[in-house]
């Protein structure tokens, strides 16, 4: 790993660390499916910035859009007062491709901010106070989004959080009876990401949609990770034919630039402009440069049929990973949709060693916040078949090394010592 001095020392001294064992890759360039570091190493990126770089790193169309907009203007004022061409064009395009009749967009800076806005919207529109979320779900780290994140170890240090939040077991039909007429909104990931790439049964989301309709609660679908072709559909909810009341987007929304959004119907979104006006505002959300980048990225996704490509390559990758597990051992399950896959290994130590050895083999993978036995695989949707084969070769080598290495993994010890 690249740790040039004194830059790495400055990194450790002045950039807040979120774990005791940062990877320390000193990135100098990234292009397509590859990340290049200061020591001359090239890493095949099977994480894509955690589902951000769906069109790959530094896609020429995205870079050109950023450059063109930056030459016109940067920040003006973004929250629904000025008419900004990139913002208006992107909102209109999102309305065209969004499921159902979700036609009004509120841009934010990130997914957690978009979830904050969605939760406020549900309360404002319904006049109710209660929120329902699901065990294992992840919606961000600000106070409101953390309040509906279903992992106690991350919630406990920051309590008290929002009151009147109930957690139900994910993918449990019987539990949906707990959603009643006092609930303002129900927030759920169509496929749980940090919870371990958990795909619900086919009847869960449709049943949840019906229950919300019955009691008048807004259904909020958090597609921050699953949106923009990642699962083999433009939006994951399309796998089940479910249209939410509020759709939350981020990560790939900006094509590599920071951008989030929540979308809903006009009669719901209009509540943010009255009683009082400016009920929800943002300084930088929907920044013109970010919107220009996002629009360019979406055009690439649509023109190059990247959702279909994700479905094809994802099926190949899943089949080969399952074969690798049968031949080498150590693999409990491979699950997910498209290029949003979770590789569950048999125990936490093996998982930590696998992630470490993968990096040594020149491939970037990740494990999820809520599961210490699941490795996340989310390469760019522009991944070539040759790069897929290279990735499988490196993953096989990493698993082989991890199975034969019995040293206590420092990454596991450091990361989970307080969990």
pLDDT tens digits for range 139-149:
999 999 999 99
Chosen domain end from 260, 278, 303: 303
Structurally, the chain folds into a number of domains equal to 2
Same domain, 148 and 91: yes
Please report whether residue 2 resides in a domain: no
Please report whether residue 346 resides in a domain: yes
Radius of gyration for the alpha carbons in the chain, expressed in angstroms and rounded: 21
Element (H, E) at 165: strand 165-168
Same domain, 39 and 84: no
pLDDT for res 411: 55
Over residues 352-376, mean pLDDT: 89
In sequence order, the β-bridge partners of residue 363 are: 44
Same domain, 318 and 292: no
Q: Which domain holds residue 356?
A: 7-58+305-415
End-to-end distance of the chain based on CA atoms, in angstroms?
26
Q: What is the CATH number of the domain that holds 369?
A: 3.90.1150.10
Residue 353 clears pLDDT 90, i.e. is over it: yes
Same domain, 20 and 146: no
pLDDT for res 80: 67
Q: Name the pairing type of β-strands 130-134 and 183-188.
A: parallel
**Which residue is associated with the tokens 């072709």?**
229
Residue 304 clears pLDDT 90, i.e. is over it: yes
pLDDT in tens, 36-47: 999 999 999 999
Same domain, 12 and 108: no
| Averaged confidence pLDDT in the chain | 93
In our burial notation (b when 16+ CB lie closer than 10 A, e otherwise), range 354-386 reads: bbbbbbebbbbbbbbbbbbbbbbbbbbbbbeee
**C-alpha 389, offset from chain centre:** 25
Instruction: List the structure tokens of 129.
Output: 């106070």
Q: Tell me the pLDDT band of 17, cut-offs 50, 70 and 90.
A: confident
Instruction: List the structure tokens of 32.
Output: 């397509």
Chosen domain end from 303, 318, 344: 303
CB–CB of 195/374 below 8 Å?
Answer: no
Chosen domain end from 303, 325, 350: 303
Q: What is the CATH number of the domain that holds 233?
A: 3.40.640.10
Instruction: List the structure tokens of 291.
Output: 């919107």
């Amino acid at each position: 790993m690249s740790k040039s001095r004194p830059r790495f020392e400055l990194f450790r001294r002045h950039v807040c660390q979120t774990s005791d064992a940062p990877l320390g890759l000193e990135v100098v360039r990234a292009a397509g499916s590859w990340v290049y570091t200061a020591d001359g190493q090239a890493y095949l990126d099977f994480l894509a910035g955690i589902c951000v770089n769906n069109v790959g790193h530094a896609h020429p169309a995205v870079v050109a859009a950023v450059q063109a907009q930056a030459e016109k203007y940067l920040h003006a004022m973004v929250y629904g007062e000025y008419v900004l061409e990139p913002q208006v064009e992107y909102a209109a395009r999102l309305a065209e491709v969004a499921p159902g009749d979700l036609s009004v967009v509120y841009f934010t800076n990130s997914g957690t901010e978009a979830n904050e806005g969605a939760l406020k919207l549900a309360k404002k529109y319904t006049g109710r106070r209660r929120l329902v979320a699901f065990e294992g779900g992840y919606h961000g780290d600000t106070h409101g989004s953390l309040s509906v994140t279903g992992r106690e170890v991350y919630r406990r240090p920051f309590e008290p959080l929002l009151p009147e939040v109930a957690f139900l077991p994910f993918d449990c039909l019987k539990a949906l009876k707990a959603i009643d007429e006092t609930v303002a909104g129900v927030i759920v990931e169509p496929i749980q990401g940090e919870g371990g790439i958990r795909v619900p049964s086919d009847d869960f989301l449709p049943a949840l949609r019906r229950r919300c309709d019955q009691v008048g609660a807004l259904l909020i679908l958090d597609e921050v990770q699953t949106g923009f072709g990642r699962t083999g559909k433009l939006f994951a909810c399309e796998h089940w034919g479910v249209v939410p009341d509020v759709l939350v987007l981020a990560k790939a929304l900006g094509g590599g630039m920071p951008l989030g959004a929540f979308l809903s119907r006009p009669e719901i979104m209009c509540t943010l402009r009255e009683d009082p006006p400016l009920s929800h505002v943002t300084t930088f959300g929907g920044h013109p440069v970010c919107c220009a980048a996002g629009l360019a990225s979406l055009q690439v996704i649509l023109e190059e049929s990247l959702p279909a490509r994700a479905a094809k390559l994802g099926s190949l990758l899943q089949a080969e990973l399952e074969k690798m597990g049968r031949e080498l051992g150590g693999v409990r399950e491979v699950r997910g949709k498209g290029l949003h896959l979770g590789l569950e290994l048999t125990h936490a130590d093996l998982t930590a060693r696998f992630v470490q050895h993968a990096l040594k083999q020149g491939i970037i993978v990740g494990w999820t916040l809520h599961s210490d036995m699941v490795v996340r695989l989310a390469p760019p949707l522009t991944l070539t078949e040759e790069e897929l084969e290279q990735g499988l070769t490196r993953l096989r080598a990493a698993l082989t090394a991890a199975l034969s290495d019995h040293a206590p993994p420092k990454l596991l010890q450091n990361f989970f010592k307080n969990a």
